[in-house]
């Protein structure tokens, strides 16, 4: 089995989740990596250094600069012939591009898979993570997206893959990139962080969210997440959202503050190793999945916890 | 401009589903079913565009068993003009098959904008819109948080990891909705009554010349290992020492 993994990058750096996708794909056999962009030889070099990578395919053209699905999907299709699987990490990047390539190839896709049973059999969560489906591809090419938090990252050194330039496909010009607005943050990336502190509606306002969650996160070197209720209420930006419709995280430690624990939220964090819940409602569903629960007023407890952690 | 909206009937988002004891399927008998929440947002957006004078007609389409008619009636009650029900008893139709059917419908209807939810909350696939755009050779904007209609272009702000991205698409285009796009309206009883008089046309996948047989085999379904509830600690000091003992900090 050979797999072509589509690398996610911002033109300068390879996104960390690509390394998780590479290590997952390596369990299926040989792995080649496609780096597409404009002037991205540096990214290709970084991909070539990653453990398990056999060859890096480098496709450079101005119309690949913004990684539009309309431009990248035909490129994947032009390279697909020798591969059994086309794959990417299941972030917003992979979710956007891979199904388009699958349809052009008339082949099915298995999304967001969390376990490899055999080269043709995979496990993926459905119904917001409440059910695990074991799915088999009876034959033919297959498109896969891997849930990054379910697979270890491949080491970013130890590889010595060749870089091979491949011809660019013709520009489609169906869509036009206008702008990108990224949330500025010095913190670890939410889906990769070892510790995540997550705030819910219980925080009451954007000011209180910031005043309580930021010092706690700083003390732990943690990423900050939020429940959908907190995001909808405007306490935290959209891309902080953890859950079925937001990001899936599986850190070593997940601290849920003022989060009730709706099914939708649990889908995004129940793979965490240790879960702590701080909530004033002793019957909140979050306590049913928390290893350590603390019932009480979060406005008193969170500053106390932040202070206590500073002493550790 | 004609808008096509695809809606799916799914187990209601508040229901905690169970797997049948033999692992052969998910128990969906006698559980509450609703329109997929992301599709409600797609219908709402279409209706708002019509109310703003940007759309002339809204056609809702659903593929599946007889009861999908209820889902389409809800879309009509929200403000869709007419509905197409592609009726089939084939369970769990795969996104690629759905996309092939929708592509045929979009071509026949000459729809300028096709709105879909970004994912169905049962299969969580997040594939159909992208596949449909590919089959139509149309541009796509997935995970839309804001849509602006221009004369022959639409501008869409997408939710991406790390923030947002803005794209301009040539029409016809396919857009999949994120939760933030809008707040769907509540359907009132008089609207539901009126919706019964709106046209709802039935057809079958064969009428559209599409093969919807599954490409993948689901071998089994299982419930994940439940996370056990742990302990409640009395205060912050106890919490910190417990976390230390567990080597979590």
pLDDT at residue A183 tops 90: no
Tokens matching residue A304: 């106390």
Question: Is there a cis peptide before residue A210, judged by omega within 30 degrees of 0?
Answer: no
pLDDT digits (tens, 9 = 90+) for A98-129: 999 999 999 999 999 999 999 999 999 999 99
What percent helix, strand, coil does chain B show, rounded to 5? 30, 30, 40
Residues paired with A245 in a beta bridge: none
* Contact indicator for A235, A203 with CB cutoff of 8 Å: yes
Q: Which CATH number fits domain B2-222: 3.40.50.620, 2.60.15.10, 3.20.20.150, 3.40.50.720?
A: 3.40.50.620
Confidence of residue A170 (pLDDT cuts 50, 70, 90): very high
ipTM field:
0.96
Burial class, B225, CB count within 10 angstroms (exposed 0-12 / middle 13-18 / buried 19+): exposed
pTM of the model: 0.95
Per-residue pLDDT tens digits for A8-58: 999 999 999 999 999 999 999 999 999 999 999 999 999 999 999 999 999
Res B168: pLDDT: 98
Determine contact: B229 vs chain A, CB below 8 A: yes
B20 lies within 8 A of chain A by CB: no
A234 at B interface, C-beta within 8 A: no
Q: Output the pLDDT for position A186.
A: 86
Chain B nearest C-alpha distance from A22 (Å): 19
To test the contact with chain A by mutation, choose from B23, B117, B130 the residue with the greatest count of A C-beta atoms within 10 A, namely B130
Sign of CA pseudo-dihedral B157, B159, B162, B163: positive
Residue A129 to residue B224, Cβ atoms within 8 A: yes
| A236 Cβ contact partners less than 8 Å away, ≥ 6 residues apart | A199, A206, A209, A224, A226, A230
The pLDDT of residue A306 is above 90: yes
Task: Give the C-alpha separation, A280 to B134, whole Å.
Answer: 49
DSSP class of A239? G
List CB contacts (< 8 A) between A127 and chain B.
11, 17, 26, 121-122, 124
CA distance B7 to chain A (A): 17
Task: Kindly give the parts of chain B with pLDDT less than 70.
Answer: none
Please give the C-alpha separations between residue B135 and each of A67, A240, B38, B110, in angstroms, as whole numbers. Answer: 19, 33, 22, 14
Q: What pLDDT, on the 0 to 100 scale, is given for residue B14? A: 87
Q: Write down the pLDDT at residue A245.
A: 87
Give the start-end residues of each E strand in chain A. Answer: 2-6, 30-37, 53-60, 85-89, 109-113, 115-118, 121-126, 131-136, 142-146, 162-165, 175-182, 195-199, 223-226, 253-257, 274-279, 292-295
Cβ-Cβ pairs closer than 8 A, A with B, add up to 251
**What digits encode the pLDDT tens for the residues A201-218?**
999 999 999 999 999 999
CA distance A69 to chain B (A): 8
Helix residue spans in B59-157 (DSSP H):
68-78, 95-109, 128-136
Rounded CA-CA distance B168/B72 in Å is 30
Contact partners, residue A15, CB within 8 Å, separation at least 6: A7, A8, A9, A89, A91, A93
Please state the domain extents for chain B: 2-222
Strand partners, B167: A177, B156
Element (H, E) at B79: none
Edge-to-edge strand list for the sheet holding A85-89: A109-113, A142-146, A85-89, A2-6, A30-37, A53-60, A162-165
pLDDT confidence of residue A280: 97
- Can you tell me the distance from the alpha carbon of A272 to that of A196, in angstroms, rounded to the nearest whole number? 9
Question: Which residues from chain A sit within 8 angstroms of residue B239, using beta carbons?
Answer: 276, 292, 294, 305
Q: What are the CA-CA distances from residue A183 to residues A219, B10, B161 (Å)?
A: 21, 34, 9
Whole-number mean pLDDT of chain A?
A: 96
Tell which residue, B195, B3, B200, has the closest CA to residue B84. B200
Residues of B with Cβ-Cβ distance to A312 under 8 angstroms: 240, 244, 249
Q: What is the pLDDT of residue B54?
A: 96
Q: How much is the pLDDT for A41?
A: 97
């Amino acid at each position: 089995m050979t797999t072509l993994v589509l690398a996610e990058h911002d033109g300068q750096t390879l996104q960390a989740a690509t390394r998780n996708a590479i290590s997952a794909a390596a369990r299926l056999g040989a792995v080649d990596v496609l780096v597409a962009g404009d002037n991205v030889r540096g990214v290709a070099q970084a991909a070539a250094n990653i453990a398990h990578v056999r060859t890096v395919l480098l496709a450079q053209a101005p119309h690949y600069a913004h990684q539009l699905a309309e431009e990248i999907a035909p490129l994947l299709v032009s390279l697909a012939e020798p591969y059994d699987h086309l794959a990417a990490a299941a972030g917003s990047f992979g979710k956007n591009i891979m199904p388009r390539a699958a349809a052009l190839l008339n082949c099915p896709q298995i999304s967001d898979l969390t376990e490899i049973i055999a080269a043709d059999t995979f496990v993926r969560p459905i119904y917001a993570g409440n059910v695990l489906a074991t799915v088999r591809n009876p034959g033919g090419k297959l498109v896969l997206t891997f849930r990054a938090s379910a697979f270890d990252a491949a080491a970013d050194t130890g590889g010595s893959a060749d870089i091979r330039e491949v011809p660019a496909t013709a520009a489609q010009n169906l869509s036009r990139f206008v702008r990108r607005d990224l949330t500025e943050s010095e913190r670890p990336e939410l889906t990769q962080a070892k510790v995540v502190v997550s705030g819910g509606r219980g925080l009451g306002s954007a000011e209180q969210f910031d005043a309580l969650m930021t010092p706690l996160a700083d003390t732990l070197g943690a990423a900050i997440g939020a429940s959908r209720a907190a995001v909808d209420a405007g306490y935290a930006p959209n891309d902080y959202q953890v859950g079925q419709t937001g990001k899936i995280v599986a850190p070593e430690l997940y601290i849920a503050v003022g989060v009730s624990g709706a099914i939708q939220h649990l889908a995004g964090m129940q793979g965490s190793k240790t879960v702590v819940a701080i909530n004033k409602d002793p019957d909140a569903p979050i306590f049913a999945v928390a290893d350590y629960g603390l019932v009480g007023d979060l406005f008193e407890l969170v500053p106390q916890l932040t202070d206590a952690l500073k002493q550790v | 401009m004609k808008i096509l909206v695809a809606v799916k009937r799914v187990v209601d988002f508040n229901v905690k589903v169970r797997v049948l004891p033999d692992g052969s399927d998910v128990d969906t008998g006698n559980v509450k079913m609703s329109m997929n929440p992301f599709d409600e947002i797609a219908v709402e957006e279409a209706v708002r565009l019509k109310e703003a004078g940007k759309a002339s007609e809204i056609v809702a389409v659903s593929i599946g068993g007889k009861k999908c008619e209820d889902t389409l009636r809800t879309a009509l009650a929200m403000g869709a003009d007419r509905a197409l029900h592609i009726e089939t008893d084939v369970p769990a139709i795969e996104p690629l098959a759905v996309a092939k059917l929708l592509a045929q419908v979009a071509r026949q209807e000459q729809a300028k904008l096709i709105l879909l939810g970004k994912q169905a909350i049962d299969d969580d696939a997040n594939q159909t819109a992208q596949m449909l755009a590919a089959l139509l050779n149309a541009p796509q904007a997935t995970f839309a948080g804001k849509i602006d209609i221009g004369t022959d272009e639409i501008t869409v702000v997408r939710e991406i990891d790390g923030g947002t991205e803005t794209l301009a698409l040539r029409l016809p285009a396919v857009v999949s909705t994120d939760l933030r796009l809008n707040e769907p309206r509540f359907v009132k009883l008089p609207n539901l009554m009126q919706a019964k008089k709106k046209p709802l046309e039935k057809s079958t996948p064969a009428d559209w010349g599409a093969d919807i047989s599954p490409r993948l085999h689901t071998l089994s379904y299982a419930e994940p290992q439940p996370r056990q509830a742990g302990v409640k600690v009395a205060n912050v000091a106890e919490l910190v020492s417990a976390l230390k003992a567990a080597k979590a900090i």
